[in-house]
Structure formats: C-alpha cells, structure tokens
Amino acid sequence: MFGIQLAGNLLQGLVLGAVYGMATMGLSLIFGVLKVVNVGHGAFMMVGAFVALWVFNGLGLSPIWAIPAAFVLGMALGFIFFHTSMKRLIKAPELASLLATFALGILLEETVKLIYGADFHGYNWIVGKVSMGITVMPMSKIYAFVGSILIALILYFWFTKTRGGTALTCVVEDSEGARVCGINVGRAYALSFSLGIGLTVASGVLLTMFIPVGISPYMGGVYTLKAFVIAVLGGLGSPYGAFFGGLIFGLLENGSYSLFALIPGLEPFAMTRFFSFLILLLILLIKPTGLLGTK
C-alpha cells in the first residue's frame, strides 16, 4: 500500500515537474543572457493562464490552441517591455532590474484584475482519464506533460542547431567575444528577453492543463517562488538545467509526502514544502552553481 502510494505520488510529481521545469526555462534564459532575475515571473504565467481561459471559455477551442497564442502574446509583451524599460537597465545594478521586473509583474496583475475582476476562474476540459494501477491520470495532465517535453526539445534544437540559437549561446558565454565575432548583441538581448517571456506565458497555459482552477490575477506569486528554487537547483543560467530541476522538484515535493505521512504528529503536506527548500539549501552548499550550472 505504501509502495503504491509512493509510486503514484512520484509519477504525478514527474508530470507536474515537467510543467514546472518548462515554466522555469524562460526565467533561466533571461538570467543567462541578460543577468536579470525576472521577479514578475509568476505574473507572466498568470497571463498565460488567462489566455487559456479565454481560448476555452471565450472561443470554445481546445486549450492546446492557447499554447501558440500565449507564446506569441508573450513574445510581443517581452519585446515591448524590453524596449521601453529593460534595455536601459542592463548596465544598472542588479537591484534595479529586480525592481523593474517586480513593477512589471504588479502592472500585469492589476491590469488583468481591471479586465477580469479579482474572481477565481476555472475551465473544464474533459478528455478522459487513464487508470494506471498506481494512480489515475487525466489525459489533460498527460497533454501538459507531453507539451512541456516537446517545447523543451524544440528549444534544445533551436539553441544547438540554428544560427539564432547558437548566437545566443555565444552571448551567454562571452558577450564581448560575441560582439567581436559580429553578433549583434543588442538584438540578442532583445530576442532572449522576448523568447524568455514568451516561454513563461506559454507555460501558464500548460499549467492550467494540469490545474484548471484557481485562475486569478494574483495566482502567480506561488509559482515565482517555486521557479526561483527550480532555477537555482538546475543552475540559473541554464534552461536545460531548469527543466531537469523542475523534474527533480516535482518528484521531491510529491514523493516526500508518502515518507512524511509515516511520521505521526506532522502535517506531511507542509513538510514536503519544507523538504524541497531543505534540498535546495543542501545543493547550494555542495554545488552552489546548481546541478547543471557552469559558472
């Protein structure tokens, strides 16, 4: 019985972890190239969640269509924000960009609140379930899982096989050297920021495919925190690290529940949260640059 519970939790954790991981790739990308920590990360995911809501409830289409829509919207938002504010802050102290992204996050939350109100929304996309013996997995979660992995793979190919992607990798390694090689660093910055935001907004859709309720303007805060932990786990500048960090995080959070449930006098769920942060601190002690970090 315990074994089945544990296995079930681990499986669910893996699926959720893929979504978390994909969501954090944008954060890691932006940090890797621009050295900016996007404190408004959760707010952008929230925007994606609302796009999914609108596509399903408003347009009556499957939320899968929301993924490219959210991505495009995200890239547009990233582009606008970059050219209006972030561009000037690349040379400023780290704090300034921190606060700027925080302010952006608030602006997004308040704007969405004006449009949709402070309500909690949800949508109901039923496409069947798969009973896996150890647990039951709705197809929507499986779609989210597959979608996250696909996007991560596409990103991998883009970074390693295309000119644009490899150019970005060069900028991460050495921006001066890249400039000397003829790469337009300014445009690389703009592209990474837009791409990072695009990924983050798209991940909001995938998140709702896993958790289609609780969508509200202020939902993002929790995810920002998780993303930070995952990004550091995997190494702040590395998008792939972020993805694997997410998988590990999901496994830890859910798997540890079964272990804590065995200890009387504890609330296992809260303890899983404590546990994941404990692991974070341990990893930072042993390998501060994170699991896949290079710097």
Partner 1 sequence: MKESKITKYYPLIPVCATYLALFIIGESVPGMWQLVAMLAFYCAIGQAFNIFLGMTGYVDFGYVAFMGVGAYGMALSVERLHMVEGIGMGVVFLGLLLAVVLATLLSLAVGAVALRLRGAYFAIATIGVNEGFRYLIEGAKLWGGSEGIVFYGQLAKALGSETASQVSTFWADVFVFLIAFMAACITIVYMRSKIGYALTALREDEDAAKVMGINVTKYKIIAFITSASVAGLIGAAGWALKLTNVFPPQVFEIHYTVECIIIVLLGGAGTLLGPPVGALVYGLAKYWLSVIIPGFQLFIFAPIILVVIVVFPEGIMGLVKKRWRGTGLGKFIE
Partner 2 sequence: MKKNMVMAILGFTALFGLVFATGAFGASKIVIGNPECLSGGFAKAGEQAVGGIKACVKWVNETYGGVKVGGKKTPLEYKLYDCESKKEAVTSLIERLITVDKVDFLFAPYSSPLTLAGAPVAEKYKKLFMDHGGASDRIFQQGFKYVVQTIGPGTSYHLGTLDMIRKIDPKANKLALVYKDAEFSRDVMRGAEKHAQTVGYSIVFKRTYPEGAADLTPILSDLKGHNPDIVLGGGHEPDGMLLARQMADLDINAKAISIIVSVTLPSFYEGLKNIADGILGPSHWEYGVTYSEAGAKKLGLPWIGPGQDEFVKLFKEAVGKDLTPEYHSAEAGAAVLALVKGIEMADSLDNDKVRAALGKLHFMSFYGGWDVDDTGLQVGHSMVDMQWQGGKRIIVWPPEAATGKPCYPLPTFSQKAKGTLCIPK
Question: By the criterion CB under 8 A, which residues form the site for partner 2?
Answer: 1, 5, 8-9, 12-13, 16, 113, 117-124, 126, 129, 131, 135-136, 138, 141, 210-214, 216, 218-219, 221-223, 226, 254, 257-258, 261, 267-270, 272-273
CA-angle at 225, arms to 51 and 153, nearest 5°: 60
From the list partner 1, partner 2, none, pick the one residue 130 interacts with, judged by a Cβ distance below 5 to 8 Å according to partner type. none
The count of residues interacting with partner 1 (CB under 8 A) is 50
231 contact choice in partner 2, partner 1, none (CB below 5 to 8 Å, kind-dependent) = partner 1
- Which contiguous run of DSSP H or E holds residue 130? strand 129-131
Partner whose binding site includes residue 136, from partner 1, partner 2, none (CB under 5 to 8 Å by kind): partner 2
Least Å distance between CB 29 and partner 2?
23
Residue 151 or 231: the one with the smaller Cβ distance to partner 1 is 231
State in angstroms the smallest separation of the CB of 191 from partner 1. 21
Type and span of the H or E element at 137 = strand 136-138
Binding partner at 100 among partner 2, partner 1, none, C-beta below 5 to 8 Å by kind: partner 1
Instruction: Output the 3-class SS for 23-90.
Output: HHHHHHHHHHHHCCCCCCHHHHHHHHHHHHHHHHHHCCCCHHHHHHHHHHHHHHHHHHHHHHCHHHHC
Question: And the tokens for 290?
Answer: 């994170």
User: Which span (119-127, 151-159, 207-215, 228-236) binds partner 1, by CB under 8 A?
Assistant: 228-236
How far is the C-alpha of 142 from the C-alpha of 130, rounded, in Å?
9
88 near partner 1, rule: CB under 8 A: yes
Tell me which of partner 2, partner 1, none is bound by residue 111, counting a contact when its beta carbon lies within the kind-specific cut-off of 5 to 8 angstroms: partner 1
Distance CA 261, CA 274 (A): 14
Rounded Cα–Cα distance for residues 159 and 191 (Å): 13
Question: How many other CB atoms sit within 10 Å of the CB of residue 274?
Answer: 12
Residue 158, class by beta-carbon neighbours within 10 Å (0-12 exposed, 13-18 middle, 19+ buried)?
A: middle
Give, in order, the Cα–Cα distances in Å from 78 to each of 133, 139, 194, 198, 247: 43, 31, 4, 7, 26
Residue 258 binding partner per list partner 1, partner 2, none, with a CB distance cut-off of 5 to 8 Å that depends on partner kind: partner 2
Question: Does 106 contact partner 1 by CB under 8 A?
Answer: yes
Quick one: what does residue 30 bind among partner 1, partner 2, none, with the CB cut-off 5 to 8 Å set by partner type? none
For position 160 contacting partner 1 by CB under 8 A, the verdict is: no
- For the chain, the straight-line distance linking the first and the last C-alpha, in angstroms and rounded, comes to 44
CB of residue 219 to partner 2, shortest distance in Å:
7
Residue 100, interface with partner 1 (CB under 8 A)? yes
CB of 21 closer than 8 Å to CB of 243: yes
Please report, as ranges, the residues that interact with partner 1 according to CB under 8 A: 31, 35, 37, 39, 85, 88-89, 92-96, 98-100, 102-104, 106-107, 109-111, 114, 221, 225, 228-229, 231-232, 236, 260, 265-271, 273-274, 277-278, 280-281, 284-285, 288-290
